[in-house]
């Protein structure tokens, strides 16, 4: 989970350095909060409750131990990830729109940022 969270936060911190509009910076801080809270909720809390008892995670011989439906858990975890990915892709759009340069250059810069999000 950290493999997704920390690159997102790093990219959002980069946005804070290059995007100067107050509204965009506030939204960036909100997205950072959402990404980090999602990491705490799914990366830490969900891991603790996925296996009952927790020791069943590494010792499958414990009688009565069971796992939650991991496929369903991954599906539910991916929804906020997709939404934050979209927010990260959309955040710099208003700044790019107001740049004083040709439309083709704006498109090139936007596509560069979009490729970085992938």
Q: What is the pTM of this model?
A: 0.78
Q: pLDDT tens digits, the chain, 118 residues: what are they?
A: 678 889 999 999 999 998 888 999 999 999 999 999 998 888 777 777 777 777 777 777 888 777 777 777 777 778 888 899 999 988 888 888 888 889 899 888 888 877 877 7
CA 39 to CA 93: how far, in whole Å? 26
Cβ(106)–Cβ(97) below 8 Å: yes
Computed from CA positions of residues 15, 17, 20, 23, in that sequence, does the dihedral angle turn out positive or negative? positive
Q: Look up tokens 């100067």; give the residue.
A: 20
């Amino acid at each position: 989970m950290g493999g997704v969270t920390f690159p997102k936060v790093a990219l959002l911190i980069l946005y804070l350095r290059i995007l100067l509009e107050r509204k965009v910076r506030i939204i960036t801080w909100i997205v950072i909060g959402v990404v980090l809270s999602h990491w705490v909720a799914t990366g830490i809390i969900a891991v603790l409750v996925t296996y009952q008892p927790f020791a069943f995670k590494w010792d499958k011989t414990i009688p009565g131990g069971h796992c939650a439906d991991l496929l369903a858990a991954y599906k539910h975890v991916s929804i906020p990830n997709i939404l934050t990915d979209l927010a990260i892709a959309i955040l710099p759009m208003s700044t790019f729109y107001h740049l004083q340069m040709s439309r083709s250059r704006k498109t090139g810069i936007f596509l560069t940022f979009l490729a970085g999000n992938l």
